[in-house]
Amino acid sequence: MSNTPKQTEKLPWKCGKCGGELERGLVKASYLGNDFEVQELKCLNCGLVLITEELALGKMFEVEQSLEDK
Amino acid sequence: MLLMEQEELKLLEDKCTQENPPACTAGCPIHVDARKLMSDIQKKDLKSALATLQKKQPFPGIIGRICDHPCEDVCKRRDVGSPISIAALERFCVQNQSSNSPKAGMIPEKSQTVAVVGSGLRGLTVAYDLAKKGYKVTLFDKADRIGGSLWDFPKNQLSPEVIVEELSVLSRLKVQIELNREITRLDLADLQEKFAALYLGLAKQSADAVELLGNNYDLDPVTGATAIKGIFGGTLADNDSPIRSVADGRKAAISIDRYLQGVSLTASREGEGSYESKLFVNTQGIEPLPAVSMSNEQAGFTVEEAVQEASRCLNCQCLECIKACKYIESYGSYPKKYLRQIYNNNSIVMGMRHANKMINSCSLCGLCAEVCPQGLDLGEVCKASRVTMIGKGKMPPSAHDFALRDMAFSNSDKFALARHQPGCNSSSYVFFPGCQLSASSPEHVENVYKLLMEKLTGGVGLMLGCCGAPADWAGEQDLFRRNWEVLAAEWERLGKPQIITACSTCHSMFQTKFPNIVSLWELMADMELPGQEDMLSGGRVAVQDACTTRHEPSIHNAVRKILQKLKYDIEELPYSRERTKCCGYGGLMSFANRELAQKIVEDRISESDVDYVAYCAMCRDRFASKGKRTWHLLDLIFSDDLEQAAVKPSVGFSYRHENRAKLKRKLLHTLWQETPSDQEEAYMSINLQINDRVWGIMEDRHILIEDIQQVIGYAERTGRKFTNPDNGHSLAHYRPLRVTYWVEYEPQEQGFIVYNAYSHRMEIVEGAHE
């Protein structure tokens, strides 16, 4: 799962808490007892992780569905 | 049936006859696939047609010209016209396509030898079948040529050239032919010594047979084995039927092969020879068509005539459930296959469960059982599988979560209620309108309750809540039971009054649980209804029977009686009453498989052009959502503006909650003069501006107003959100329980404009919260 399918495309979002730029960093995700570590955009100061609509409804949904059928 | 066992699966599979052969194939002693042959001819693919014949027939050029076609006696076209001229079409094939016999050398040779005595159709078939399996076959005939009585056919039917050409395949299969060799009883011992097995290609009890074997001609009719080990013979007493002679030879060839391989001669031989197929074929409504006649009987069918005649083939299949059910159709196969897939799905210990979505997409409506000649109910299997999946913890959480939360809402304090009629302290009746009518048309719940209080004596109590159907459909038996226990306790507290249901689903859920329930429609059918006298002719309407009333003819009749009272002309849909179709909400189909549920609505609303009347709130709303003018039956009784009622849009998920909550507050206030203690959460006062596009997105994605309010409430309180300096939008998320909701929004003076909303179920572990 990658938050930035087009590496060059810059997302307009900044951290609303500290105003900082978002950077790719290691994020822990889990579903139905399965844990993963993935690279996602986050605010390194505040820990906020951005999940875009494209990711949520695309790759992430696919992974959820296949874990549900496992 | 919780866990389908192998035996149970077998019993269920046997109910689905789709895989059984068509009558013609079963009726053919050697099971030629005439249905496939007709399809080949329709496509003018004679190469394939000949291959179809060759698959079963040893010498298609011969059989195709002389077959006595018992298949035609059982052809289903007989019921609607006359049987397909299968024999004449076979002749057409072999006259117009030269055979392409098996090439020698393709078959792994066996060392065992077989002697075949007599070269009529029996002996020829045995020689051919066994040579094809690689045995070393020697064919003896007392005449100077092989073929026996084949030479007796008129030349214009079976010419010598064809006999020679067709039988030449035996040489290519390396069959040794010994002519002018009469075999007598004296030769038997010698042959037994030289050959591993012997076949006497003679009719049973014929003079030759008796001469050869004497008292030993005691034949097993199933295998063709004689009393002497290794010697086999014909089981038919005559030579009248060419195709039965071929079958007789084939039977012996199978026995000889088994004998030489040292396996059982008798095991599983039930399927051999002619039998009656179990395949169900519905010929109702099929246009009768007479047989196509030949312009020249001598020459046989022309290509055009043959294609036309073959096109009369009904392509016999059952498919009764597939014709009736879009769900069964949509998975591209038929129940027998689905049963196996479901069984495998339930049995998987490790690995992917590919049938989960199929199991959860069934509306459990029971139509398949109604139309299946054997009563196979795929819905029952799906339902039982859901229970199994829940039991094993393998139910995909996303399938039913939203519907179960909706149920929880309806049974929370926000909606649930159980009261005696205002001013009464006992109840002879209690009205249970159900959660969906209360959500779609809360005003009708009020109207009906007032009417019932006016018309009935002894006190009419009111119970608001959910009957538990979503839990039942989701396979959540424990939840359903707990829900029912709560409802039963309330009902007992009210003094066990007679329950009046307005929703067919509630009715079906309560039927076995509560004694003496009655549907609102049954009561109303015998009541004087408001505005009844003023009605002029109401026009023509088609009735959508709710699928949960399938076996409730008294409800079907009551609904029609009400419509007649209101002076409507009733059109019966092609599928109505016990054969009605689900709207796609039943069984929670619309949550597990939204696309399919939409198709099901489109299919149902296209059955008639006239306006529909439904007596289930979900049917009504789902049809209206696709633009079909549909009334709820109560609209016709209580609505002031029928035009508006027919086109009223479906109430979205968010407002379904709100309508239920408002209904409870309103009734408490107006009927019981109570001011409900509103314990609203702070976020619920957040004011949102949502345009139609965003509404559509929210409905599609099952996101409620309160979900959005919670996200914004949390983000604005904690500052945990992202911002876009270019347009001033904020993007934030919140996870109340199992789903993370994201909202893109912009603060305004009076609240927030919502631009987008989406969700995911996967949990992201973030750094420090708040």
Residue of A nearest to B766 (CA): A47
- Chain B positions touching A48 (Cβ under 8 A) are 720-722, 766-767
- pLDDT-derived band at B486 (thresholds 50, 70, 90) equals very high
Interface test with B, best of A11, A23, A28, A53 (most B CBs within 10 A): A53
Determine, for residues A68 and B396 on separate chains, whether the beta-carbon distance falls below 8 Å. yes
Q: What is the DSSP letter of B244?
A: H
**pLDDT category of residue B4 using cuts at 50, 70 and 90:** low
Tell me whether residues A50 and B720 touch, CB distance under 8 A: no
CA atoms within 13 A on the CB side of B446: 19
- Tell me how far apart the alpha carbons of residues A68 and B719 are, in angstroms, rounded to a whole number: 33
Facing residue for B720 by CB, picked from A17, A57, A66: A17
Residue B708 in this model has a pLDDT that exceeds 50: yes
Inter-chain CB proximity A64 and B764 less than 8 Å: no
Interchain CB distance below 8 Å, A60 and B762 = yes
If you measure CA to CA, which chain B residue comes closest to A10? B724
Q: How large a percentage of chain B has pLDDT more than 70?
A: 96
Closest CA to B730 of B704, B752, B749, B709: B752
* Chain segment B93-142, per-residue pLDDT in tens: 999 987 666 555 577 899 999 999 999 999 999 999 999 999 999 999 99
CA distances from B523 to B310, B451, B552, B558, B645 (A): 57, 11, 14, 8, 23
Q: Do A17 and B715 touch (CB under 8 A)?
A: no
Give the C-alpha separation, B86 to B306, whole Å: 10
Residue B248: pLDDT band by 50, 70, 90 thresholds? very high
Query: Tens of pLDDT along B559-586?
Result: 999 999 999 999 999 999 999 999 999 9
Identify the architecture of domain B682-760 in CATH: 2-Layer Sandwich (3.30)
Could you read off the pLDDT of B237-246 as tens digits, one per residue?
Answer: 777 899 999 9
With a cut of 60, say whether residue B482 has pLDDT above it: yes
Residue of B398, B726, B760 with shortest CB distance to A60: B760
For residue A31, list chain B residues with Cβ-Cβ distance below 8 A: 761-763
Min distance B365 CA to chain A CA atoms (Å): 25
Identify the pLDDT of residue B263.
Answer: 96
Minimal-distance CA residue of chain B relative to A25: B766
Domain ranges of chain B: 6-10+319-395, 20-100+280-310, 113-240, 411-526, 539-650, 682-760
User: What's the pLDDT at A8?
Assistant: 46
| Residue B151 in this model has a pLDDT that exceeds 60 | yes
Q: What angle do CA B210, B216, B221 make, to 5 degrees?
A: 90
Contacts with B703 from chain A: Cβ below 8 Å:
none
Listed residue (A51, A63, A16, A37) closest to B724, CA to CA: A16
- Relative to beta strand B176-178, strand B197-200 is unpaired
DSSP string, B137-181: EEEE-SSSSS-GGGGGS-TTTS-HHHHHHHHTHHHHTT-EEE-S-
A8 to chain B, closest Cα gap in Å: 18
Residue B765 distance to chain A (closest CA, Å): 5
Calculate the average pLDDT of chain B.
93
Nearest to A46 among B396, B759, B767 (CB): B767
The mean per-residue pLDDT over the stretch B132-154 comes to 95
Angle between helices B442-455 and B653-670 (to 10 degrees): 30
Please name the residues in contact with B5: beta carbons below 8 A apart, sequence gap of 6 or more: none
Nearest Cβ partner of B398 from A29, A40, A64?
A64
Site of tokens 């633009």: B627
Nearest CA-CA partner of B738 in B290, B408, B436: B408
**Nearest chain A CA: its distance from B739 CA (Å):** 11
3-state secondary structure (DSSP) of residue B10: helix
Separation of alpha carbons B264 and B728, rounded Å: 84
Residue of chain B nearest A61, judged by CA positions: B760
Place of tokens 């949102």: B688
Q: Using an 8 Å Cβ cutoff, are B234 and B200 in contact? A: yes
- Please check the confidence at residue B230 and state whether its pLDDT lies above 90: yes
Q: How far is B7 from chain A (nearest CA, A)?
A: 26
- Contact yes or no for B122/B248 (Cβ under 8 A): yes
Q: Which residues of B38-60 are buried (b: 16+ CB within 10 A; e: fewer)?
A: bbbbbeeebebbbbbbbebbbbb
B residues 375-434 closer than 8 Å to A (CB):
396-399
Amino acid identity at B753: I
Q: Kindly tell me if the per-residue pLDDT of B365 is higher than 50.
A: yes
Question: Helix (H, G, I), strand (E, B), or coil: what is residue A11?
Answer: coil
Query: For residues B516 and B523, what is the distance between their CA atoms, to the nearest angstrom?
Result: 13
8 A C-beta contact, residue B235 and residue B251: yes
User: What percentage of chain B carries pLDDT values higher than 90?
Assistant: 85
Distance CA B183, CA B142 (A): 7
**B639-687 pLDDT, tens digit each:** 988 999 999 998 989 899 999 999 999 999 999 998 877 667 778 889 9
Q: From CA B683, how far away is CA B119, in angstroms rounded?
A: 94
Q: Do B762 and A53 touch (CB under 8 A)?
A: no
Buried-state track B154-170, b at ≥16 Cβ within 10 A, e below 16? eeeebeeebbebbbebb
CB-based contact (8 Å) between B728 and chain A?
no
Enumerate the residues of chain B whose CB falls inside 8 A of the CB of residue A50.
Answer: 722, 731
A63 with B742: Cβ contact below 8 A:
no
- Residues of B within 8 A of A12 (CB-CB) are 724-727
Least confident of A4-13, B254-263, B297-306, B564-573: A4-13
- CA of A5 vs chain B CAs: smallest distance (Å): 18
Q: Say which CATH number the domain at A47 has.
A: 3.10.20
Residue type, B357: K
Which of B760, B769, B770 would best serve as a mutation to test chain A binding (most A beta carbons within 10 A)?
B760
Average pLDDT over residues B53-78: 96
B758:A53 CB<8 A: yes
Mean pLDDT estimate for chain A: 87
Per DSSP, what are the bridge partners of residue B722?
A15, B731
Q: Nearest CA of chain B to the CA of A39: how many Å?
A: 12
Closest CA to B544 of B610, B465, B452, B467: B610
How high is the pLDDT of residue B397?
94
Residue A66: give the domain boundaries.
1-70
Using the beta-carbon criterion (under 8 Å), do B760 and A56 form an inter-chain contact?
Answer: yes
- Asked if the model's pLDDT at residue B206 lies above 80, the reply is no
- For residue A56, list chain B residues with Cβ-Cβ distance below 8 A: 742, 758-760
pTM of the model: 0.86
State which amino acid sits at residue B225: A
pLDDT given at position B540 = 94
Q: Hey, which residues 336-355 in chain B have their CB within 8 Å of chain A?
A: 351-354
CB < 8 Å to B768, chain A: 46-47
Contact A14 B722 (CB under 8 A): yes
Which member of A28, A48, A51 has the closest CB to residue B765? A28
Distance (Å) from the alpha carbon of B594 to chain A's nearest alpha carbon: 15
In order of B330, B451, B614, the CA distances from B437 in angstroms are 30, 16, 12
Which residue of A lies nearest to B717 if distances are taken between CA atoms?
Answer: A17
Q: Flag whether pLDDT at A2 surpasses 70.
A: no
**CA closest to B350 among chain A residues:** A70
Query: Residues of A at the B interface (Cβ-Cβ below 8 Å)?
Result: 12-17, 22, 27-32, 40, 42, 46-51, 53, 56-57, 60-61, 63-66, 68-70
Strands B231-233 and B197-200: parallel
B768 lies within 8 A of chain A by CB: yes
CATH superfamily of the B113-240 domain: FAD/NAD(P)-binding domain (3.50.50.60)
User: What are the backbone dihedrals phi and psi of residue B733, each rounded to the nearest 5 degrees, phi first?
Assistant: -140, 160
Tell me: pLDDT of A4 over 70: no
* Residues linked to residue B199 through DSSP beta bridges, in sequence order: B116, B232
* Helix extents (H) in B67-159: 70-74, 86-96, 121-132
- Residues paired with residue B573 on neighbouring β-strands, in sequence order: none
- Chain B CB contacts of A66 below 8 Å: 352
CATH number of B411-526: 3.40.50
Is A60 in Cβ contact with B397 (below 8 Å)?
no
Please state the domain count of chain A.
1
CB contact under 8 A, B762 and A63: yes
Q: What's the CA gap between B571 and A31, in Å, rounded?
A: 51
Between strands B518-519 and B688-689, the pairing is unpaired
Residues of chain B contacting A64 with CB distance shorter than 8 Å: 398, 760-762
Q: Give yes or no for a contact between B52 and B32, defined as CB atoms under 8 angstroms apart.
A: yes
pLDDT(B409) > 60: yes
Q: CB distance B766–A31 less than 8 Å?
A: no
